[in-house]
Amino acid sequence: MPRDEKAGYNRFLLLVAGLGGLLYGIDVGIIAGALPYLEATSGLNAGQLSTVVAAVLLGSVISTLFAGILADWMGRKLLMIFSGSTFVVSIPVIALAHGYQPLVLGRLLQGISAGLIGVVVPLYLAECLSADSRGKGTGIFQWLLTLGIVCAAIAGMFFSIRVEEVARLGDAAKLFAFKDKAWRSIFWVSLPPGIMFVIGSAIVAESPRWLSRQGRRDDAYASLLRSRTRQQADLELAEMQLATATEKTRKSTGADKTGANKKESLLRRKYVIPFLLACVILACNQATGINSIIGYNANILLQSGLSDVQAHWGYVIFTIVNFLMTMGGVVLVDRKGRKFLLSIGSAGIIVSLLCAGMLFRNTEKYRVDARSAVQSLMSAADSETIRYDRKTADFFLASSGTAARKLIGQPTSLIVIYSCGDFRSATRVSRSDDPAAQPIEITRASCLPANKVVAFFSNPFSSFDASRRVPLRIDNALISAVPSTHNGWMVAITLFVFIAFFAIGPGVCVWLALSELMPTRIRSNGMSIALLINQAVSTGIAATFLPTVGRFGYSTMFFAFAACTVVYFMTAAFVLPETKGKTLEEIEAHFEGGADTSSAVIA
């Protein structure tokens, strides 16, 4: 194959990787824009809507658990086709749905697709791309993942503008019909990328390393030749053959007295160390607080001193910085290396989190907890609507002690954190000086999961039945003096710096490190287990975030995230080997402590 054709094929591989990331991002972000119109027209209750939203998480966890086994059984290419096809099928199931069950089924299929894509695409790229372009390929996956979230948000924004135009006509029937069309159209818009991913996956070659492990030497060589020169293909095939031969030799020398071969122990250094290292990196990636900072971004900015409009603009800037800096990470990852970017990224995250924590420490020391006053307002049905204006604020403050009375007459903000047994929820932040603010809604339905399945993934150690029987309790009703707008923008800047360093370091490198560190024998299953650990840490942080903020404030949470990121920095700077420019076999040899395999030749 001529050199320009090989370059074209490599670009096509990057395109397929990007489409996989785009689908993953759409899976994550699409429901946010569609949910308001689905809620208005579907007739589903709050519990059913909660299940529809959470079904993606359930599907993702299930498919992540089995993705490695499937990748080894079916092959990387076939699993990519299957995952893309699952996404394509999910769209008409959802968009044509008239009822609860089809919606849940469609969302489950989307979750299954997301879980499979999250494992198999980085795995495929690591095994197919040459050492000098592997970082760029996995970086593009992450970059277009963020673009997928942005695209889902833009689609939701487009239809929100159209809905507002129809609402001005004053025709309730037309408005209902258009809202019904809007949420269906948002899902239909995401169909073309899914079809393109399936087609692209069908065209690309199978992973040469998977083919080699299956004993298909000629097919592996042909796959290598599609993206490499003959000299490069010969060298990499030799490394793969040597690795396979060495493994077979160890199996044969490990035969027991009966002559039965024993499998090589998975407790060897070359398996255990990279697996544990990948798990630490993934756990620390979540422990930076990335999901909580994204999920509670608007609330954080509102409590820091920004108005509602300014907070939402802050979030828009936050997502743009994430997208642009991810692009920078894609450019740098194969030039500067994974170790360098992870070290710089985690160091920047530590500084930004400490600055955000100190800014909140200066304002939270004056906050007041008015939970008793709010609890007294709760009805027998465990629900209440509170319009938080200056009069209500003064009432709460007057009944909350001498220190609280010092805030009477000042602009304040209120966030209520409440629980039903083992499950917690929080209202949005409301400010007493915002006449356009919507009332605060406190209900059992917004706190309790829809069913036991959703409850398990929300809090695996919870008792769902017991939580349904206990009354709703106000854990905290936090009233804070509204800081200055200047303070709010200072906090916003620290969050922009946080996401910039996250995007250019951990955001780009985490998928890459996961796929590169794992040896070939355990790569697929190891990635699945590591991603499950990643999700477990994410769930743990989500379960402790609100109670910690309620009791100790955002400052404590930011300081805790910074402490966890110190572990991340130490691991990246002093333990993680640099894998830039190395073949997967060379990386495996590093952990084995053996000689470089690059000079080995297999006849």
Cβ atoms of 568 and 346 within 8 Å: the answer is yes
pLDDT digits (tens, 9 = 90+) for 111-131: 899 889 888 888 888 788 777
* Domains in the chain with CATH codes: 1-228 (1.20.1250.20), 368-406+411-481 (no CATH)
Residue-wise pLDDT tens digits, 44-71:
766 677 678 777 877 887 888 888 888 8
Q: Could you count the other beta carbons within 10 Å of the beta carbon of residue 402? A: 6
Distance in angstroms (rounded) separating the CA atoms of residues 72 and 76: 7
- Mean pLDDT of all residues in 193-201: 91
All residues at 6 or more sequence positions from 352 whose CB lies less than 8 Å from its CB, including other chains: 494, 495, 497, 498, 501
Q: 96 or 152, which is more confident?
A: 96
pTM (2 d.p.): 0.71
pLDDT at site 90: 93
What number is the average pLDDT over the span 567-580?
88
Q: Which helix (H) or strand (E) holds 470?
A: none
Q: What would the pLDDT profile of 20-32 be if each residue is shown by its tens digit?
A: 888 887 877 777 6
Provide the pLDDT confidence category of residue 258 given band limits of 50, 70 and 90. Answer: very low
Span 321-363, pLDDT tens digits: 988 898 888 888 878 888 899 999 999 999 999 999 999 988 8
pLDDT higher than 50, residue 255: no
Binning pLDDT at 50, 70 and 90, where does residue 597 land? Answer: very low
pLDDT band at 446 (very low <50, low <70, confident <90, very high): confident
CA separation for the pair 398, 400 (Å, rounded): 6
* SS3 state of residue 603: coil
Encoded tokens for 117? 């894509």
**Listed range (200-204, 385-389, 451-455) with the worst mean pLDDT:** 451-455
